[in-house]
Amino acid sequence: MKKNIYAVILIVVILGSLLQFGSLARGVSFLAQETQANEPVLESINAPQMGNGFKPIRITAEKIGLDLPVTSVALKNGTWQVNPGVANFAEGTSLVNDKEGNVGIFAHDNEQGFSKIKGLAAGDLILISGDHDKATYKVSKLAIANPIEVDVYYATKLPQLTLVTCDGLFSEKRFVLTADLVKIESI
C-alpha cells in the first residue's frame, strides 16, 4: 500500500514538473530568465521614450543593500536580452522623467540581480541615477504576474518605475514591483 502511495506521489510530482516546464517553453514572455535566454516578448509596448528624461545607469535601494549598474537593452525580435550581474533598462519603455511614463527595469532572480527586491514593501525607496540626475521612487505595489502580462511595462499617465524578475519554483511567474516618482534632482 505504501509503495502505491509513493508511486502516485512521484507521478504527480513528475506530471506537475512537466506541465510547469511546458508552460515555460511555450507562450509569450516579456522577460527571460536563466533557462530562457531569449524568449519572445512583444513587438511594441507603445511606450515612447520621453525626450526630456534620462536613461538609468544605476539602481539602489538602501533598505535591502541593492546597488547595481543598469545596462540599456534594445528590443530585438520581440525580446529583451537579460544580461547577468546588472539591472537591464528595457529600451522602448519611458526614460526617467517627471511628466509621465513607465520606466521598465528587469534582472535575473539571483544575488547578482533582483532577488533582493522581493524584500521591499510599500513605502520603501528606490533610487535611479543617471549621468547628471537621480530620481527617488516610492514602492506602491508588489504583485505576481504571468509572463504573458506584458502590460506591466505599458506607459502610464503619471511617472512610475516597474521592476521585474522571475518568481516561482520553475521561474514560471514574474515578480512585479511598481513605484511612484517622488522627486528628481540634479547630482
pLDDT tens digits for range 146-156: 988 888 999 99
Looking at the DSSP bridge assignments, the partners of residue 129 are 58, 134
Query: Using CA atoms, how far apart are residues 51 and 113, in angstroms rounded to an integer?
Result: 28
What pLDDT does residue 5 have?
A: 52
Using pLDDT thresholds of 50, 70 and 90, give the confidence band for residue 3.
low
The overall average pLDDT reported for the chain is 81
pLDDT average, residue stretch 31-55: 49
What single-letter DSSP state applies at residue 96? B
Percent of residues, the chain, with pLDDT higher than 90: 66
Region 67-88: what's the mean pLDDT? Answer: 93
Q: Which CATH number fits domain 2-186: 3.40.50.970, 2.40.260.10, 3.20.20.150, 2.40.30.110?
A: 2.40.260.10
Q: How far is residue 153's CA from residue 55's CA, in Å, rounded to a whole number?
A: 16
Supply 44's cell numbers. Answer: 511594441
- According to DSSP H, which parts of the chain are helical? 2-25
Question: pLDDT tens digit string along 125-179?
Answer: 999 999 999 999 999 999 999 988 888 999 999 999 999 999 999 999 999 999 9
Q: Between these two residues, 97 and 32, which has the higher pLDDT value? A: 97
d(CA 56, CA 63): 20
Please measure the distance between the N-terminal and C-terminal CA atoms of the chain and give it in whole angstroms.
70
